[in-house]
């Protein structure tokens, strides 16, 4: 019995360990670059931190896209990660794509400091983001609040100016 208790204690400690991912943001064209670290939280969700530079001043849509495919740059990353087939929304909205992470904001120096905790995404499993792409858009995400098809699918956030595949760290 003692061996079983020790084994269960070891497994519980092992499962509570924080899993991590990383994405290096590049485009090859617009000069947007940076790095992001994704840390899975023991209570659920993922904490995303890092910096992205080379952006225009202001808010930029920030999403997880369905494919980790950069063969055609950010254009081949597919649509927003949406395993539950919902409409686009804010990170705290009831109806949102799993990949809808809202906006990041760049200052006058073109640098955005990212510090986001999202309770829906995970690194693995049904809402897993490992192997998918993180994408930064040219404009502000309207969070699906406008009455247009584009708002309800992409947040009208504009073109893709930076992206990276989320890998294991």
Q: Which residues are catalytically annotated?
A: 63, 65, 80, 88, 97, 100, 137, 160
Cβ neighbours, 10 Å, residue 85: 6
Q: Which long-range contacts (CB under 8 A, 24 or more apart) does 35-39 make?
A: 35/164, 36/114, 36/134, 36/164, 37/169, 38/123, 38/129, 38/166, 38/169
Torsion of CA 102, 104, 105, 110, to 10 degrees: -140
Phi, psi angles (nearest 5°) of residue 72: -120, 40
Cα 106 from chain centre: 17
Phi, psi angles (nearest 5°) of residue 49: -135, 150
């Amino acid at each position: 019995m003692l061996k079983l208790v020790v084994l269960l204690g070891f497994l519980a400690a092992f499962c509570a360990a924080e899993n991590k991912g990383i994405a290096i943001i590049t485009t090859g064209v617009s000069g947007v670059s940076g790095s992001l670290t994704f840390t899975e939280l023991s209570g659920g969700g993922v904490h995303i931190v890092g910096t992205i530079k080379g952006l225009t001043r202001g808010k930029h849509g920030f999403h997880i896209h369905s494919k980790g495919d950069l063969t055609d740059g950010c254009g081949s990353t597919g649509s927003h990660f949406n395993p539950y087939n919902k409409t686009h929304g804010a990170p705290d909205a009831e109806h949102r794509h799993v990949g809808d992470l809202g906006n990041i904001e760049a200052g006058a120096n073109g640098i955005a400091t990212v510090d986001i905790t999202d309770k829906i995404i995970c690194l693995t499993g049904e809402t897993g983001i490992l192997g998918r792409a993180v994408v930064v858009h040219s404009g502000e995400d309207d969070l699906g609040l406008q009455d247009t098809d584009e708002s309800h699918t992409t947040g009208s956030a504009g073109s893709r100016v930076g992206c990276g595949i989320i890998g294991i760290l």
